[in-house]
């Protein structure tokens, strides 16, 4: 077990003295596979890849790109942060660009369906960056904003539509979206899409496709039931790609659990954030009310944060994400609405202030750190009443999560009101020792 008392954590790393273990955020690369030039991609796309720092493939890209370029149906399951979006964006952009003689569009050729607005925006940004110098025109469509500007963009002509189902079907019914020319259908976060009951929407889309099409499913986690449902939507010869199925958590993420009572979590969070002032945090909570309460609790100890949840309008959510991406905001408090919609490479820590009610969301939450070739740390606070949730998560992972042990004196020092939250760990230890000595003197009297 790791000891919280001797835990020193920062952007550069931390050591757990109880085990003499040092984990360093050194951004060292994981396995590399192949240069993108080997796939015979267009020069324009290769230029964009190089400009955006894509030089060699990740495992999922190496395995998925050839099958997608051949027009095969693919069901791909890979850990979060391993480059899944680029794994389907690269071959799709290359195919459309190669088949076009000019920038003039001949109808939407690819539809990417996603469950959340943040994810639609994020994937749209990836497609736009990778398609910059090509003849391909991507566009992200989602609700929560006025539709007039979106309609104008659609009328100007696009090749790739990234969309949430609600706004897309609304504009289909109004006659502004025509998906009859679709050649490739992509479901990102496929398990979430199917689990939320979007299967009827997916089947409705498929009925509108007038020609034979390619179907791609991408996700980090998938249950046997969802897998069966997914295979019902693809051709029988679909290619199944599964990366590191024995552990859904990326090796880039070191994750731990700490047993903390519900009412004491704010003290531990404040202390942990103070210890890691150079880090960039996402704090996950159960509800929007909890998000706002935790933000106010942090404000009381002079820690600034922003919140993002489903009750905020899309403009506010976009502004919060912009501030977090730019580094203006270092602490983001979020509900699960954002667990799958945040791809920010420099997130150093994820804190599960509340354990997720669905064990799969644990994987998606902590996957917000340790993305690409970066390293990350995730810590979960588990109250007594959350232990059944912890057991479900560990059953999904197939192994226990390492525990950060908190001694009684450490625990008392953190939650006691007189303790200055600006104390360093060494000051906390000295304060702790003074409390012990005082208690001994009182006992002798």
DSSP string covering 172-224, please? HHTT----TT--EEEEETHHHHHHTTTHHHHHHHHHH--S--EEEEEES---H
Going 270 to 271 to 272 to 274, the CA torsion angle's sign is positive
State both tokens at 284: 């996950």
CA distance 130 to 140: 14
Q: What are the backbone dihedrals phi and psi of residue 151, each rounded to the nearest 5 degrees, phi first? A: -60, -40
CA distance 166 to 201: 9
Burial class of residue 194, CB neighbours in 10 A (0-12, 13-18, 19+) = buried
- At residue 229, the pLDDT reads 72
Beta strands 21-24 and 13-16 are antiparallel
What tens-digit pLDDT sequence spans the chain (445 residues)?
Answer: 444 443 444 333 333 222 222 222 333 334 446 889 889 999 999 999 999 989 889 889 999 999 999 999 998 888 777 889 999 999 999 999 999 988 888 899 999 999 888 889 989 999 999 999 899 999 999 998 899 999 999 999 999 999 998 899 999 999 999 998 999 999 888 777 776 667 778 888 888 886 788 999 888 777 776 677 777 777 767 787 876 556 778 888 999 999 999 999 999 999 999 888 889 999 999 999 999 999 999 999 999 999 998 888 888 888 998 999 999 999 999 998 766 667 788 999 999 999 999 888 898 899 889 887 789 999 999 999 999 999 999 998 989 999 998 888 889 888 885 444 444 444 544 554 565 666 666 556 5
In 89-188, DSSP assigns E strands to 110-113, 138-141, 160-163, 184-188
Strand partners, 214: 184
Going 244 to 248 to 252 to 258, the CA torsion angle's sign is negative
For residue 366, the surrounding DSSP H or E stretch is helix 359-366
Domains of the chain: 36-242 (3.40.50.300), 249-406 (3.40.50.300)
Contact indicator for 329, 320 with CB cutoff of 8 Å: yes
Q: Which residues contact 184 (CB under 8 A, 6 or more apart)?
A: 92, 95, 109, 110, 111, 213, 214, 215, 216
Of 332, 386, 337, 341, which Cα lies nearest the Cα of 359?
386
- At residue 156, the pLDDT reads 93
**Which three-class secondary structure state does DSSP give residue 19?**
coil
Of 294, 280, 259, which Cα lies nearest the Cα of 328?
280
Burial class of residue 200, CB neighbours in 10 A (0-12, 13-18, 19+) = exposed
Distances in whole angstroms, Cα of residue 406 to Cα of each of 6, 185, 309 = 10, 49, 31
Q: Is 0.75 surpassed by the pTM of this model?
A: no
């Amino acid at each position: 077990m790791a000891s919280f008392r001797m835990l020193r954590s920062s952007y550069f790393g931390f050591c757990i003295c109880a085990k003499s273990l040092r984990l360093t955020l050194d951004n060292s690369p994981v396995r590399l596979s192949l240069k993108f030039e080997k796939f015979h991609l267009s020069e324009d796309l290769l230029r964009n890849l190089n400009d955006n720092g894509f030089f060699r493939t990740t495992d999922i890209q190496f395995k998925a790109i050839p099958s997608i370029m051949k027009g095969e149906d693919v069901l791909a399951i890979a850990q979060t942060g391993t480059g899944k979006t680029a794994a389907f964006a690269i071959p799709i952009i290359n195919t459309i660009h190669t088949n076009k003689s000019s920038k003039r569009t001949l109808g939407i050729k690819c539809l990417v369906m996603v469950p959340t607005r943040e994810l639609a925006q994020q994937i749209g940004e990836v497609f736009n960056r990778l398609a910059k110098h090509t003849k391909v025109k991507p566009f992200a469509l989602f609700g929560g904003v006025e539709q007039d500007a979106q309609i104008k963009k659609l009328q100007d002509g696009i090749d790739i539509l990234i969309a949430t189902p609600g706004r897309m079907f609304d504009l289909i019914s109004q006659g502004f979206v025509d998906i009859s020319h679709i050649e490739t259908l992509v479901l990102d976060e496929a398990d979430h899409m199917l689990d939320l009951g979007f299967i009827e929407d997916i089947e409705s889309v498929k009925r509108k496709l007038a020609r034979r099409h390619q179907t791609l499913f991408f996700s980090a986690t998938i249950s046997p039931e969802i897998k069966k449902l997914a295979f019902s939507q693809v051709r029988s010869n679909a290619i199944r790609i599964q990366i590191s199925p024995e552990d859904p958590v990326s090796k880039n993420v070191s994750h731990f659990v700490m047993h903390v009572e519900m009412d004491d979590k704010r003290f531990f969070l404040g202390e942990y954030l103070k210890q890691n002032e150079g880090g960039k945090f996402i704090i996950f909570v159960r509800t929007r009310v909890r998000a706002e309460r935790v933000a106010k609790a942090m404000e009381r100890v002079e820690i600034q944060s922003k919140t993002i949840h489903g009750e905020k309008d899309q403009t506010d959510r976009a502004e919060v994400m912009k501030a977090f991406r730019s580094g203006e905001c270092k602490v983001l408090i979020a509900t699960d609405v954002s667990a799958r919609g945040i791809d920010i490479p420099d997130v150093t820590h994820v804190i599960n202030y509340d354990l997720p009610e669905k064990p799969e969301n644990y994987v998606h939450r902590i996957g917000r750190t340790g993305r690409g070739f970066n390293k990350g740390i995730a810590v979960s606070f588990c109250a007594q009443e959350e232990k059944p949730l912890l057991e479900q998560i560990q059953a999904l992972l197939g192994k226990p999560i390492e525990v950060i042990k908190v001694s009684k004196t450490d625990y008392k020092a953190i939650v006691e009101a007189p303790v200055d939250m600006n104390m360093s760990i060494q000051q906390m230890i000295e304060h702790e020792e003074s409390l012990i000595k005082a208690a001994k003197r009182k006992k002798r009297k």
